[in-house]
Amino acid sequence: MKRPSFRRCGNAPGALSPEDQAVVDQFRALLPVLRNPEAWTPGHGQDIAVRIGPFIERAHPRPGDDHGTETIAVALVHPDTGHAAAHLHGHQLGYTDRGWLRCETTAILGTWQPAYTTLTHAAANLPLPDDIGMTPAHYAVHVEAHHSNGTSRTLLRLGPYTQTWLASHDADRLNTELAGRAATVLPGFTVIAKDTVFAVSDHERYTDPYLADVITMDDVLAGVST
């Protein structure tokens, strides 16, 4: 029985060219990384490798918002981030105009390693697709009045928040005030504050929590007449 033999594809026999050797070296470096990716640990601020369709991209977690077990906030960055030419190339391919995004932890392959570079859109000189499977990671607080007949209305919108815990903190604080006053001021309604996703397209209807003074119950009830 003949043993199978492998031949190098190409027009010229002999030793590999420097360009071909570089490809082979990259492939060899990639194999152990794919087989044994370095585990990602929430809350450590490490750049991560995330799946975007058939590609793998480098993502930078948002400081203070990278400890979720199901979803964290990240920004997609060019794989050569840190080098002078990376910003311009990243802008051309759509890396720099995405902002913060919600990334499900199930899409995280592991911590970022340079060997992943060959699997990115940038390495193929392709722009990121319009739909990358991630929604903007901006957050908000909505104060809503729910009537017993099933109708409801939003009294106040706060946002955008850049971190989920800040939105949750303000929602909890408002709910404490609402529990004491809303029942008497708005009889028949249940008023609650909840943290939610910031609707970028509806930004004019929001009050910026970072520019406004401390939001009080009076601000909430002012929404009844607007």
**pLDDT one-digit tens code per residue, 164-183:** 888 988 999 888 887 766 55
Question: 60: closest CA among 71, 74, 40?
Answer: 74
pLDDT given for residue 8 in this prediction: 44
Instruction: Express as a percent the part of the chain with pLDDT over 90.
Output: 30
Q: Where is pLDDT greater, at 1 or 171?
A: 171
Q: Where is pLDDT greater, at 109 or 36?
A: 109
Q: Of 21-25, 35-39, 72-76, where does mean pLDDT reach its minimum? A: 21-25
Tokens at residue 151, please? 């109708």
Q: Which helix (H) or strand (E) holds 170?
A: helix 164-185
Q: CB burial class (10 A; 0-12, 13-18, 19+) of residue 74?
A: buried
Task: Note the pLDDT tens digit of each residue in 88-106.
Answer: 999 999 998 888 898 999 9
CA distance 22 to 20: 5
Task: Note the pLDDT tens digit of each residue in 128-157.
Answer: 999 999 988 888 999 998 888 888 889 889
pLDDT given for residue 176 in this prediction: 85
